[in-house]
Structure 1
Amino acid sequence: MPDGGLCVPVEYNGVLAGGVVLCPLEGAEHQWTEADFERADIVAKSIALGAALEGKWHQNAWMLHSGRSLIDSMRGLLATTLHQVRSPVSALVTFGHLLLRKLPPGDPNRTLAKNVILEALRVNELLQPLDEAGDAHVLPEANGVPWYQKEEDEQPEESVVGVVPKHTGYGWAEEDGMQLIWLSDVLVAQAERSEFLAGECGMHFVAEIDDDSPPILAVEKHVRETVSSLIDNAIKYSPRGATIGIQSVWREEEEEEEEENEMVDVVVWDTGYGFSEDEIEEVWDFGFRGSAAVRSGAPGSGIGLSAVQRMLQSSGAEISLVSPLPENLDPRSPDSGERAMRPGSAFTMRFKRPSR
């Protein structure tokens, strides 16, 4: 090199990555020896090896991060599915006991009812080891075939949706997975199921479902799951003697009365312990359990409301919570001391109608 410098290439696995340049002090003359060449070569190889190891470290760190993300997603899917499966399993046990009460002694169907209960309990036992699977962060996108079938002669008018829909057997589905859903079909079935469950827990159940509600555009499975989850939570965390209710209403926006701005609301309410002002914003956080859940002593994971919000958002819907329970929903007397002890709460799910 000019000025008496020495340059040694930095090479690793046949790849030239740079070089090590050694220069004598300014104004000094230096004669490079064989030992200098050997030391410079060792330095160059050490730098090359260090760079290669650093690259491997970054690659392994990325792979580890990706693996952890995948594991977290799988744990989330498993935990969320586990949470959603437990409600129907518990309902099967309750319905089995109700069936046993109605069947007279000696009826051969009693054995069948007992077997249903035993198998449901067995499923619950098999799910028990999965409780430690982890936290739920990811909800699967669901677009399965609905299990309620609309009568063939009750198809919606073609003018309801401005695009050509796809027939699903239940209603009409948009290409993005949304469906036209008649809420009365879903809510009546949920109300019948919930009335039995509430009665078994010593609670009252009230259903006010508007049969004339217009159809909404949403994912049918998500609507069914969210309504079921909210009612199950109300029953689970309310004391005996409380009242659980579901109400569906549709209205037009106050500012504009055009038909495309009509909204359909579904309200699930209860006269239970309610939520404090601080808890109202936190109930949607994963793993959060309110004071009512702790006071009731019922076990829980804090997944339910977070899952409900995610499913509704995937259907383009909104959900809000108010506590205490509004007076127009509360069946108790305004002077009742129960209101102070159990302020109650109401969850409102708001769905938009499809544009004509």
Structure 2
Amino acid sequence: MLTASSDLVTIARSQIALLTQSLGAGASAVYLTEETSDGMPPNLIQVVAYPDDNVPTLPPETFPMLPTSEKGDLVRQRRMVLPLIYQEAILGFLMTGRDDRDWTEPEQTQIQQVANTLAVACALDRRCQWLEENQRRVYEQQNHFLSSLLHQLRNPLTAIRTFSQLLLRRIMPEDPNHKFVSGILREARHIQDLLAEAEHPTPLLLAQSKTGLALLPAAELEILPTDLREILDAISTAASAIAQERNLHFMAVFPEYIPLVLANAAALREVLGNLVDNALKYTPEEGCVGLSVSVLDGGYVSVIVQDTGVGIPASDMTHLFERSFRGRQADGNISGTGLGLAIANDLIKKMHGNIQVSSQPDLGSIFTVNLKMNLES
């Protein structure tokens, strides 16, 4: 069923008010045409009328569908019916009239201008509705695909977690491999948590920005006193294994005492894990990646991720936290989506912290995450 948006209704009302106040029209109405599938005359849908109780709903035959070559107005002395034509298509009709005098030629020209304005407005309104409907269909298709993918991931992930639990029972705590198996189990649980979050997404309106909603964990974060060391130990274990595999040097240096920070544990793990993963990804063989912590004056704790990698050009720095931006790396052979830093920055802001960056091309980068300390403990 064809409908008129609130914007189109507003424009139609303003044009009818113009006819009423400037030209003395006593009654006016704007109609949309909706094609029928049975060859019958098109349906007429009233958009707005003035006055409301004096303009009847007119049958289709009242407004004959003129061939596109006939641009003449239907002028019957004091009443005018003008087709709203845009790109050879009749999208609706404007009816206006008055009882006290006939329309002069200059007045007819002004009414035609009003009709032209309404025709463009109708065309834009239909185009917007078509785009929104098309976007909705694409969104639903993507949502169905994502739901199927998440469902298919659940079973193998459960198997990985089960195998890890069984393997962990067979490895003594003093075995050097114990921490790696623990890391596999921890990562499997983390992925399951993310999948559980993705299976219950926040309803998304097409007109609203997706930036704040396309985050994992959820956009609304619960901020609590958080054990930073526990998160860093888990990240360090995984990073050590990756560095060993890629022939990199990884070093984690933490003070003996790390105060609790105000954060969301899952979100903070996402942020720091992403920064460390980027450092490992963009550092060539024999390079170094470091993870350290500093307790600052003023109630802040800083987590520093430093590498000797490819660095970031100055021209890319201002766009670094934009979604889908990869800058110079887009032309390289390292895969990526350009989403990681944008998500990390958004999550840190939600935790009332910030990320600072310094970098030099071919010398490396330093990412510093500043978090508020829990001063109530």
Structure 1's unaligned 5+ residue stretches are: 20-35, 104-112, 124-134, 145-174, 253-260, 325-340
Counterpart residue identity of residue 255, structure 2: D
Structure 2's unaligned 5+ residue stretches are: 1-22, 31-45, 55-73, 84-92, 97-114, 172-180, 192-208
Which residue of 337, 351, 364 corresponds with 1:315? 351
The alignment covers a number of residue pairs equal to 241
3-state DSSP of counterpart to 2:276: helix
Alignment of 1:8-23 (within 5 A): 9-11=27-29, 16-17=49-50
How far, CA to CA, are the matches of 1:281 and 1:14 in structure 2?
A: 47
User: How far did 1:143 drift?
Assistant: 5.9
Superposed counterparts of 1:239-318, under 5 Å:
239-252=284-297, 261-291=298-328, 294-295=331-332, 297-318=333-354
Give 1:250 deviation, angstroms: 0.7
Q: What is the alpha-carbon distance in structure 2 between the residues aligned to residue 283 and residue 53 of structure 1?
A: 44
Instruction: Indicate how the Cα distance of structure 1 residues 44 and 248 shifts in structure 2: closer, same or farther if over 3 A, else same.
Output: same
TM-score of the superposition, structure 1-length normalised? 0.54
- Residue correspondence of structure 1 range 99-178 to structure 2 within 5 A: 137-140=211-214, 177-178=222-223
Alpha-carbon distance between aligned partners in 2 of 1:192 and 1:15, rounded to the nearest angstrom = 67
TM-fit CA distance, 1:187: 0.4
281-290 or 211-220, which deviates more: 281-290
Query: Displacement, 1:210?
Result: 2.7
Task: Indicate if the aligned counterparts of 1:8 and 1:40 stay in contact, CA closer than 8 A.
Answer: no
Q: Deviations over 1:212-235 (max 9, x none)?
A: 111111111111001111111111
The answer to whether the 8 A contact 1:184-1:211 is kept is no
1:322 partner SS: strand
Greater strand content: 2
2:243 to 185, 188, 198: 198
Residues 71 and 181 of structure 1, relative CA distance in 2, 3 Å threshold: farther
Question: Match of 1:41?
Answer: 79
How many percent identity over aligned positions? 22
Distance 1:345 1:8, change over 3 A: closer
Residue 294 of structure 1, CA deviation: 4.1
The amino acid of 1:282's aligned partner reads H
- Pair 1:287–1:142, CA change in 2 (3 A): closer
- What is the alpha-carbon root mean square deviation over aligned residues? 4.8
Q: 1:68 to 1:205 in 2, by over 3 A?
A: farther
Amino acid at match of 1:227: L
TM normalised by structure 2 equals 0.51
- Quote the Cα distance in structure 1 between the aligned partners of 2:254 and 2:317: 26
1:23-70 deviations in whole A, cap 9, x for unaligned? xxxxxxxxxxxxx98344343785239598677556546645766787
Q: Secondary structure at the match of 2:311?
A: coil
Q: Which has the higher contact order (CA 8 A, sep 6+)?
A: 1
